[in-house]
């Protein structure tokens, strides 16, 4: 047990989003990396978050209909 008031896993949880966004200071990134090296619990949750983002991204894509594509092309200025 460390003497810190903050639980290291809670702290790691707070750093998850900026870590994956590459938006942490060098110092914060080191804190997260050091903790992740020794903590399987957090590592799993970080890996899950990465996969979740990819999953959501692919799951919500709905291709544009060919009809819409045609309609947009028809909006072009006619060449006189």
Partner 1 sequence: MAAVGETAPETEARRLAEDARDRVRFEEEALELADQVYRVARRMVSSREEAEDLMQETYARAFRSWRSFQPGTNLRAWLLRILTNLNIDRGRRVQRAPDMQPLEEGDYFLYNKLEESTQAPNPDEERVLERLSQDDAVSALSAVPHDFRDAIVLVDIGDFSYNDAAQILDIPVGTVMSRLHRGRRILKRELADRAVTDGGDVT
5 or 79, CB closer to partner 1?
79
Q: Is 29 in the site for partner 1 (CB under 8 A)?
A: no
Q: Is 7 in the site for partner 1 (CB under 8 A)?
A: no
Phi-psi domain of 19 (left: phi exceeds 0; alpha: psi -120 through 50; beta: other): alpha
30 or 52, CB closer to partner 1?
52
Using CA atoms, how far residue 77 sits from 49, 66, 71, in Å, is: 45, 20, 13
Measured over the CA atoms of residue 7, residue 8, residue 11 and residue 17, the dihedral's sign is: negative
Residue 55 in tokens: 């999953």
Provide the minimum distance between the beta carbon of 31 and partner 1 in the complex, in angstroms, as a whole number. Answer: 16
Residues that bind partner 1 (CB under 8 A): 10, 13-14, 16-17, 23, 44-45, 47-49, 51-53, 55-57, 59-65, 68-69, 71-73, 75-77, 79
């Amino acid at each position: 047990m460390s003497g810190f008031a903050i639980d290291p896993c809670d702290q790691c949880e707070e750093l998850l989003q900026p870590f994956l966004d590459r938006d942490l200071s060098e110092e914060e990134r080191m804190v997260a990396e050091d903790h992740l090296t020794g903590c399987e619990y957090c590592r799993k949750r970080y890996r899950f978050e990465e996969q979740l983002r990819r999953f959501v991204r692919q799951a919500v894509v709905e291709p544009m209909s060919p009809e819409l594509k045609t309609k947009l092309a028809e909006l072009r200025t006619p060449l006189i």
